[in-house]
């Protein structure tokens, strides 16, 4: 694969990555005259699809300048995909929810029925989505067969303009079980800066989004998503200051351990007279500010949504981080909201 087809393939990969979030896990494998990981550091595993990891994988796609067409599909690469997913499942890694393989190719010369029979049938727990790249349709029947016999979806991406629409088709397939089970999960996104609501001294409020999915039950189709902004300060009011003590403080983290609110989180920096958000301000792990939690006791308890108390040393900053002092907190409370 080269030229325009390779450009379309890269754009398809980037578009798929953009649909993923912190609760998803992903890896990218390139097929040539040998099998290799696009990012060698992620060899043999699935990594969290947070902003940092997605940027690393996107930048690693640029050196992929040519893929040998005749060896694009062989049994080894497909087996490699299944082995990675099987190993991650056995070790309890990933979200352990929907599992899928995205095959992006300009033509599959075989259907590899024996490989799918060994690794995926009869349960078909891993869906396979195929994207046929280019105007010329080559080996389309095999590509369709792979998707249809593994509970996936086949689509033909002929131009760059077709990428966005065709990539989104896989979301409808993955949403159908939620329709059948009448699941309406509420999703809280990571913190982000609201550029519309201003704050004194030019700052920005930190908000995050609450969204709910609505479905057309008769056809199993995802109709859309509705959401609303929730001001972070509104949630922080749940922590009553008079109960925290003189040097006590409250903070919020996501289910992935990233900070939503913390006294030591400074998401803005000054450029001239303007305050701007720092890169990846919403993917700061709690361990980067609660340094004494070396055994990850606090982080693990909060990520698991446990309630209760524990005793832990902590470093408390004063004078806007200019100095530190140590304090033993005899009571760390966990509140799940």
Tokens 């939620």 — which residue? 178
From the centroid of its chain, how far is CA 329?
34
- Give CB contacts under 8 A, 24+ apart, made by 90-96: 93/25, 93/45, 93/46, 94/25, 94/46, 95/23, 95/24, 95/25
Q: What is the pLDDT of residue 90?
A: 78
Q: Is residue 302 part of a domain?
A: yes
Regions of the chain where pLDDT drops below 50: 69-75, 197-198, 200-204, 322-328, 330-331, 336-337
If asked whether residues 172 and 25 sit together in one domain, one would say: yes
Contact 29, 93 (CB under 8 A): no
pLDDT at position 249 is 81
Q: Are residues 63 and 165 in the same domain?
A: yes
Question: Does 272 map to a domain?
Answer: yes
Shared domain check, 125 and 64: yes
Please report whether residue 19 resides in a domain.
yes
Q: Which of 147, 179, 211 is the last residue of a domain?
A: 179
The boundaries of the domain holding residue 19 are 3-179
Residue 211, pLDDT score: 64
Determine, yes or no, domain membership for 8: yes
Same-domain check for residues 268 and 158: no
**Residue 132 located in a structural domain:** yes
pLDDT at 93: 74
Total of domains in the chain: 2
Residues 172, 238, single domain; the answer is no
Task: State how far the Cα of 234 lies from the Cα of 209, in Å rounded to an integer.
Answer: 13
The answer to whether position 323 is within a domain reads: yes
142 & 249 share domain:
no
Which of 179, 198, 221 is the last residue before a domain boundary? 179
Distance CA 173, CA 222 (A): 9
174 and 35 inside one domain? yes
Angle between helices 3-18 and 51-61 (to 10 degrees): 180
Give yes or no: residues 152 and 269 share one domain.
no
d(CA 291, CA 314): 7
Q: How would you classify the pairing of strands 204-216 and 221-231? A: antiparallel
DSSP secondary structure, 220-278, as one string: TEEEEEEEEEEEHHHHHTTS-HHHH-SS----EE-TTSBEEE-TT---EEEETTEEEEP
Q: Give the Cα separation of 179 and 121 in Å (integer).
A: 24
- Give the residue from 137, 155, 179 where a domain finishes: 179
Q: Is residue 200 part of a domain?
A: no
pLDDT reported for residue 241: 77
Q: What's the gap between Cα 239 and its chain centre?
A: 29
Residues 22, 141 within the same domain: yes
How many residues are given for the chain?
Answer: 337
What integer pLDDT is reported at residue 27 of this predicted model? 93
Q: Indicate whether 21 and 82 sit together in one domain.
A: yes
Same domain, 146 and 251: no
Residues 6 or more apart whose CB falls under 8 angstroms from that of 92 comprise: none
CATH number of the domain residue 36 falls in: 3.40.50.410
| pLDDT digits 0-9 by tens, 197-211 | 445 444 445 556 666
- 151 in any annotated domain: yes
Helix (H/G/I), strand (E/B), else coil: 65: coil
Same domain, 73 and 139: yes
Give all strands (DSSP E) within 121-241, no chain letters: 126-133, 154-157, 186-188, 192-198, 204-216, 221-231
pLDDT digits (tens, 9 = 90+) for 118-159: 889 999 999 999 999 988 777 789 999 999 999 999 999 999
């Amino acid at each position: 694969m080269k030229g325009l087809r390779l450009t379309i393939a890269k754009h398809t990969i980037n578009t798929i990555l953009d649909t993923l979030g912190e609760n998803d896990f992903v890896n990218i494998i390139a097929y040539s005259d040998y099998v290799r990981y696009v990012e060698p550091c992620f060899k043999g595993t699935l990594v969290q699809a947070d902003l940092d990891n997605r940027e690393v994988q996107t930048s690693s796609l640029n050196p992929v300048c040519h893929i040998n067409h005749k060896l694009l599909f062989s049994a080894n690469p497909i087996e490699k995909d299944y082995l990675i997913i099987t190993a991650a499942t056995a070790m309890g890694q990933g979200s352990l929810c929907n599992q899928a393989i995205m095959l992006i190719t300009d033509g599959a010369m075989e259907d590899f029925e024996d490989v799918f029979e060994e690794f995926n049938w009869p349960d078909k727990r891993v869906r396979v989505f195929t994207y046929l790249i280019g105007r010329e349709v080559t080996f389309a029947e095999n590509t369709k067969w792979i998707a249809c016999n593994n509970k996936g979806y086949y689509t033909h991406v002929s131009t760059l303009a077709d990428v966005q629409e065709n990539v989104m088709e896989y979301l409808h397939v993955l949403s159908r079980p939620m329709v059948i089970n009448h699941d309406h999960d509420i999703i809280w996104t990571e913190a982000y800066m609201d550029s519309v609501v201003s704050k004194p001294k030019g700052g920005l409020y930190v908000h995050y989004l609450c969204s709910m999915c609505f479905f057309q039950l008769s056809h199993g189709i995802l109709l859309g998503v509705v959401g609303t902004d929730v001001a972070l300060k509104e949630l922080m009011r749940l922590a009553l200051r008079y109960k925290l003590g003189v040097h006590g403080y409250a903070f919020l983290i996501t289910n992935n351990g990233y900070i939503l609110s913390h006294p030591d989180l400074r998401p803005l920096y000054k450029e001239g007279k303007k305050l701007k958000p720092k890169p990846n301000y919403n993917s700061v792990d709690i361990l980067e500010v609660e340094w004494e939690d070396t055994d990850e006791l606090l982080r693990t308890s909060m990520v698991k949504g446990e309630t209760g108390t524990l005793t832990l040393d902590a470093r408390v900053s004063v004078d806007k981080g200019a100095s530190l002092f140590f304090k033993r907190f005899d009571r760390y409370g966990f509140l799940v909201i």
